[in-house]
Amino acid sequence: MKVEAAYLLAVLGGKTSPSAEDLKDILGSVGAVADDDRIQLLLSEVESKDITELIASGREKLASSVPSGGGDAIAVDTTGDGFGGMATPATAGANDEANESFPFSDCAPDSFTMDPKEASNLTDVSLKITTHLLVTEGKSKNIVYSPLSIQVMLWLITAGSKGPTQDQMLSFLKSNSVDQLNSLASHLVPLVFANGSARGGPCLCFANGLWVKKSLPIKPAFKQVVDSAYKATIKQVSFKNPEEVRREVNLWAEKATKGIITEALPPESIDKKTMLVISNALYFKGLWKDKFKASKTKEYDFHLINGTSVKAQFMTSDEDQFVKAFDGFKVLKLHYARGKDRRRKFSMYLLLPNTRDGLPSLVERVCTEPNFLDRYCPETQVEVGDFKVPRFKFSSSFKASDILKDLGLVLPFNGEGDLTEMVESSPDGATMFHKSFIEVNEEGTEAAAVSSYVDMYFCYGPLSPRKKIDFVADHPFMFFIREEKTETVMFIGQVLNPLEE
């Protein structure tokens, strides 16, 4: 495919001013080589070239470059009235074991357009949780968690609620209806969490599971939603031996997270009165698009919030980076390798305050300013001067239900909620546990998260000029892992001490 044809596709797809990244994505989706020089030449010519001439040239070259059959396919409306869409099908038969155990492993839909309002609401809820989490559980330690994992759990519980409980949950989740949440789950989750390793992209596993007391019937309508929208596994169990059930849930989570999280449910988290356990597990492992060279990793000081410092291993690179300086902070964006997975694009963002004690105020700004990540996203690569990022590896665990209750979502957990759209009786109390892990090194990122809900006692723009920038993450910073196409935030955290595990 020629560059002009790629530009045409971008324009017809709604990009008023396509970037080099947009053109590379389109070229890569059909296996074409992205010639950086040719792309830059085209973009420099756009302002002076007649757009009609450019589109005509693009249509001509597109017609001769669309594959006639086999392999990846592309469907295009070249009339100028609209964009037909693109799809890169999953590799058939890849990762069969993962497919059998975890239904989201390799079944991403060919196309899904995230509604901007829904994307904004997802992020708003994530940041609302983050704000409170980092000033309570994370006040003086490293934290990592998956806001999407917690929200999917809440979506599932909302589907089984009614009355004031459902109203409170919908309000907290900024959603209009249960149907809207179920639709979002059925479209977004399979796309974001489909395993892309067979196509050279990140390895992901995501699973939902319910363990229900044998004598407790599940409402047929709820079971249908669980099966269709959430692809959850439902198992009837006896809670006469609660430790045995806890072990079963933990083994399930361990398998889903590739052995990373071994104890999703802590000791004594369930007992003989427990009637229902709902859990979801998430695993993510992505390799950097441009890996760091281990031979260049060296030891430097990392300055802690108490004024002392520790010796940590810092990665570095001489390559240009997606870095941008703003008022009081800098943002680094590191891309994960995509391979042939063109439906998704994963990135890690590191948000670094200029001052060593500036993280709390930066966190507050990130969590309160609308569309922060989109407004402060580095879109172009620049030459870096002093460039250092620490390796880190740690896990976090906390009672998510405590955070949610503090934020006003109390009915699902305080024994006064109505979950009779799920089962015959409402809980007399419930707890949600969340455990996460992350490791960042020269190769990439490995992360995992598990959220478990236990019902305890049932009573039935334009390019910027290139500029050399330093980015030295030698003091506390914040990070995100995001899927860019849907703007879905998968993990959020902070690093206060890279040696703390």
Q: Does 3-87 carry CATH code 1.10.10.1410? A: yes
Sort residue 444 into left (φ over 0), alpha (ψ -120 to 50) or beta: left
The pLDDT, as a whole number, for residue 216 is 81
- Cβ–Cβ < 8 Å for 210, 276: yes
Which stretches in the chain have pLDDT values below 50? 47-102, 104-109, 458-463
**CATH code of the domain made up of 143-286+398-434+442-455:** 3.30.497.10
Structure tokens at 467: 């500029």
- Cβ–Cβ < 8 Å for 331, 351: yes
Rg value, the chain, Cα: 24
Q: What average pLDDT does the structure give for the chain? A: 80
The pLDDT, as a whole number, for residue 343 is 85
The pLDDT, as a whole number, for residue 443 is 95
- DSSP sequence for 103-132: TTTT---S-----HHHHHHHHHHHHHHHHH
**Structure confidence by residue, pLDDT tens digits, 61-77:** 444 443 333 322 222 22
* Beta pairing partners, 205: 283
**What residue ranges of the chain are covered by domains with CATH 1.10.10.1410?**
3-87
Structure tokens at 23: 């053109």
Pure H helices in 297-450: 359-368, 372-375, 400-406
* Beta pairing partners, 314: 298, 390
The pLDDT, as a whole number, for residue 425 is 77
Neighbours of 134 (CB within 10 A): 22
**What residue ranges of the chain are covered by domains with CATH 3.30.497.10?**
143-286+398-434+442-455
Structure tokens at 204: 């992901």
Structure tokens at 131: 């704000």
In the three-class reduction of DSSP (H, G, I as helix; E, B as strand; rest coil), residue 167 is classed as helix
Burial class (CB in 10 A: 0-12, 13-18, 19+), 464: exposed
